[in-house]
Amino acid sequence: MLKTIFLIGAGGFAGTVARYLLYRLVQVLFPMLLFPAATLCVNVAGSFIIGILYSLTDSQTLVSPELRLILATGFCGGFTTFSAFAYENFSFIKTGNVSLFIIYTVISIIAGLAAVYFGYRFGKII
C-alpha cells in the first residue's frame, strides 16, 4: 500500500510539473487571447491522455491496473482533475446513462461555481 501511494505521488508530481510547463508554453505562444487558453489546453490534453490510458486498459492488458492507477490517478490527477470529470461523463454516455451525464455535469458546474463563490466570500471574512 505504501509503495502504491508513493508511486501515485510520483505520478502526481510529474503531472503537476507537466501541467505547469504546458500552461506556461501556451501563455507564451498565445498571450493575446481573451479567455484562459492555457487552462483549456491543459484540460483538453489531460482528457485526451486519460482517454488513451483507459482505452489501453478497457479490454487489453497493455497497461496493468497498477500502472493505470499511477498514470491516471497520479499523473492525470496532478495534471488536471478535469480529465477525470470528462472520463466519468464519457463513461455515462458510453453506457447510455445520458440522464446521469446531464445531472452530474450540471451539478458539478453549479456546485463548483457556488463553492468558489462561497469560498471567496468566506476568505474575505476571515
Q: Is residue 112 part of a domain?
A: no
Q: Is residue 17 part of a domain?
A: yes
Three cell numbers, residue 41: 489546453
- Distance (Å, rounded) from C-alpha 83 to C-alpha 44? 8
29: left (phi over 0), alpha (psi -120 to 50) or beta: alpha
Distances (CA, A) of 104 to 45, 73, 76, 92: 21, 20, 20, 9
* Span 81-101, average pLDDT: 93
Q: Indicate the number of domains in the chain.
A: 1
H/E run at residue 104: helix 98-125
* Segments forming the whole domain that contains residue 74: 2-81
Query: Which band of pLDDT confidence, cut at 50, 70 and 90, is reported for residue 93?
Result: very high
The pLDDT assigned to 60 comes to 64
H/E run at residue 63: none
At 78, is the secondary structure helix, strand, or coil? helix
Q: Is residue 99 part of a domain?
A: no
Give per-residue pLDDT as tens, 14-55: 999 999 999 999 999 988 877 788 888 999 999 999 888 888
Three cell numbers, residue 46: 489531460
Distances (CA, A) of 97 to 50, 81, 92, 103, 104: 20, 22, 5, 10, 11
